[in-house]
Structure 1
C-alpha cells in the first residue's frame, strides 16, 4: 500500500481542485512498490507551467526548469518537484531534447521515459497506472526499455549508463533486447558530459550488485572508460592469483566499503598491470612497477571525469601505495602513520584487505593485515609522537643551539625520525643531546 507524504498529497489536492490531473511518478513509485521508502517524491500534472505557478501562488517556488515544464515548490519545508505532462522533441545532440511539447495525457508522458520500472504513475484514489507493465518487470527484477530500445538510447545515451547503474543498485537483469540496443548505441556515450559519466559509474561501483554488473557488462564499462579495456584480456599467470586482472579487480572492488573513493581506487589499483606485464622462463607472469603505471593511468582518467582535487589526490595515493607494506612492527607502523596520517593509513588497510581477498589468497595474508591494524590502534592509544609539533623540542630550541634557516627544519626532521624509531627518545634532554651530537658530526663541534 502506497502513501503520499502529507505535503505531496496536499499538492495533488490543490492541483486537482484547480482542474488539473496529477500523479506521483518515476522512482518514488518504483521504490514504494519495492517496499522502500522514497528519498523524495515527484509529481506529474496536466497543468502547464504558468498554471502551476497560479496554483501555488504565495508559496516558495523555484523555477527549476520552467521551459521544460518543471518547477520545485516548497511545502511544509519539503521540496517537491512537479512537471507538466510532456513529450520530447528530437535529440540532435544525443543527450538533451531539442524542445518539449506539453500534453494533457499521462500515458504520453510515461511513454518518453527510459525503463518500464520507472514509467509508472500512482494516485491516492485512482491507484496505479502502469501502461508498460513496469510492475511485472519489477516483480521479475528485469530492466526493460519503454517502447523501442534503440530509440530510447539514441535519444539520450546517458540511459545506457543508467541501465547498468540500476543493474548494480537494484540487482536487476537487463532484458535481452534492451541490453543489445545499449551495446549497439555505445558509440553515443561520447555525447555524455564527463561529470554525468562519473556520477553514474560512481553509483554503479557503490551498488550492492557491483561485482556482478562489472563482470557481465564489462564492454559497456570499457566504452565509458577505454583506459581499462586492456585489463579485460590480461591473464596473470601467477600462483598468487587465480583470476585475470579484470576478474581480480572486480572481486576486489566488492571487498572494500561502499564508499566512492575506496571503490574507485580499487577499480584502478591494477589498471597499469597490462602495460608492464612480463613472463619469465617458467611462464610466470610478473608486473614489476605496476603501482606506478596504475597511478599514471589514474592520473589521466580522474581529471578527465572531473573528479575534485581532494578526491583525485586521495585515490591516486591509494593506487600508488596499495602494494607498499604498512609495517609488521610498531616501529614501522609509526613510520607509516607519520607518513600517511591515520585516515589514509586506514584507507590503505581496507584497500590491502580487498586486494588480498580478491586474489583468493590464503587467509593468513588478511590475518597479517589485521595484526597491522591492531598495532595501529595500539600506537594511537599510546598517543605516540608522529609529527614535528609533537616533539618535546621546537624551532626555538634549535635556534638556541645555534642553528638557523633551513637547518632548523632539517634537524627537527632528523629528531622526529629518531623518535619514530624509539618513542622513549621524545624527551627534551634526550633530543637536545641528539641534536648536539648530530651537529658535532656535521660540523666537528656544536654551535653555542
Structure 2
C-alpha cells in the first residue's frame, strides 16, 4: 500500500472502530494496481451519511442525497460514500433514486466497468467480485454485468469507455463494443457539457489514436456535436503521432483537422475563453506552416500560444516542435503586449490636443510596430517625439 492510501487509513480505521465496514474503491484502486499516479482517494462504507458526519469532526455534505460526505482529515479531503444501489434510471443518465445498503457487493455491482468495481481493505487485500483484476491483466474494458443494461442506465458510460481506451491503451471487450454499436444513439439524450468533458479527456490521452479509431468503428462519432459528417477528417486526426498536452491544443487540433468553425465549436458548449483561445490558434495555423513562418510579428501576435500552435504545426507537418527556441525569441522582443508600451491613448490625446477617433488607434498601432521592430526605444519621451515626427511625415527627425 502506498503513502497516499496509508494517509487515508485513519478514515477507514475510524469507521471500523464505530462498527462500520469501509473500503477504498474506484479509480484510485484501479490506478494503484496499474502502478499509475493516483488521484483522489474515495472510500465506500456501510455507514449512512448522518452516521459519517456524527463520527468525524470535519465534514462537508457534498452529495448527501446520494450518500456522499466529504471527510477532512489532516487537511486532506476524502469523499466517503455509503454503499448504495440505484433505482430506475431516467433520461439515460441518472437514477431516479438511490437506496442505501449495508452490502459492499451491491455497491460494486452498480458500477460501470469491472476495473472500477474493485475494493481494497485496510490491509491492502483486494475484493474483486466481478473480475476487475483479470480485466486489468488482460487490458480489457468491460462492463459490470450486461453491457446493454449499463449503457441504457447511463449512456455517458459509452464515452467513458472510449476515454479509458485513450488513457490506458486498453481494448473493449466484445460485448462492450457491440453494445456501444447498438446503443450509441442513446448518447443523444446526454447533455453536451457532459459529453465534452469525456471527449476532452479522450483527446488528451496518450492512446488517443486508438480511441478515435474506436469512435469511428462503433459509429459513436455520429452522435457528437458537428462530427456526424466528419468521419474522414476524424480518421486523419487519429493518424497524428504527437499527443496534445493541453486542452487548448487538443481542441484547436480537432477544430483545425476536422474543420470546425467558431459557431460549430459553440455547439460543444465550451467555455467562451477556451473557444477564444482555440480561435486564435486556428488563425495562426493558417499562416504558420514551418519554423520560418514565426516572424517577429507572428511571435508578438501569438506569443503566449506558442506551445499549442507549435505542437499542432509539428504534428501536422511531421516536424519537431521548436517551443523553447521560439519562447526564447519571444521573450527577447522589446514588448510582448500592447500594455507594455510606455505611452498610452491619454498621452497621445494630450500631445496632439485632439479628440479621440480612429486616428488614435492607428497611431497606437504604428507606435506598437515601431517599438516591436526596434525603430524607437520604448521610452515615453522618445515615443512622443517619434509620434510627432510620424504625424508630420518627416524623415529626418
TM > 0.5 fold call: yes
The alpha carbon displacement at 1:270 in A equals 3.0
Alpha-carbon distance in structure 2 between the residues aligned to 1:64 and 1:387: 44
Partner of residue 281 from structure 2, selected from 314, 318, 321 = 318
The alpha carbon displacement at 1:148 in A equals 0.6
5+ residue gaps, structure 1, are: 234-244, 273-293, 358-365, 440-448
Partner of residue 309 from structure 2, selected from 335, 345, 348 = 348
5+ residue gaps, structure 2, are: none
Partner of residue 411 from structure 1, selected from 363, 368, 372 = 363
Cross-structure match for 1:434: 390
Alpha-carbon distance in structure 2 between the residues aligned to 1:400 and 1:63: 61
1:329-350 alpha-carbon deviations (Å, 9 max, x no partner)? 79x8222234x24113453233
Alignment of 1:239-318 (within 5 A): 245-252=233-240, 254-255=241-242, 257-272=244-259, 294-295=260-261, 299-318=262-281
Alpha-carbon distance change, 398 to 373 in structure 1, aligned in 2, over 3 angstroms = farther
* TM score, norm. by length of structure 2: 0.87
* TM score, norm. by length of structure 1: 0.77
Give the structure with higher Rg (CA).
1
Alpha-carbon distance in structure 2 between the residues aligned to 1:32 and 1:385: 44
Cross-structure match for 1:33: 33
Moved over 6 A (4+): 326-330, 391-394
Q: Is the 8 A contact 1:318 1:351 kept in 2?
A: no
Tell me the SS of whatever aligns to 1:80.
Answer: strand
Cross-structure match for 2:202: 204
Cross-structure match for 2:178: 180
Alpha-carbon distance in structure 2 between the residues aligned to 1:385 and 1:31: 42
Q: Is the 8 A contact 1:388 1:413 kept in 2?
A: no
Cross-structure match for 1:289: none
Alpha-carbon distance in structure 1 between the residues aligned to 2:280 and 2:30: 39
Q: Is the 8 A contact 2:338 2:368 kept in 1?
A: yes
1:263-306 alpha-carbon deviations (Å, 9 max, x no partner)? 1110110323xxxxxxxxxxxxxxxxxxxxx32xxx23433332
Cross-structure match for 2:341: 390
Cross-structure match for 1:381: 332
The alpha carbon displacement at 1:153 in A equals 0.6
The alpha carbon displacement at 1:201 in A equals 0.8
Matched residue pairs, number?
Answer: 388
Alpha-carbon distance in structure 2 between the residues aligned to 1:268 and 1:77: 41
Cross-structure match for 1:95: 93
The alpha carbon displacement at 1:52 in A equals 2.3
* Backbone CA RMSD of aligned residues: 3.0
The alpha carbon displacement at 1:394 in A equals 7.0
The alpha carbon displacement at 1:351 in A equals 2.4
Alpha-carbon distance in structure 2 between the residues aligned to 1:28 and 1:46: 19
Tell me the SS of whatever aligns to 1:108.
Answer: helix
Alpha-carbon distance in structure 2 between the residues aligned to 1:54 and 1:400: 70
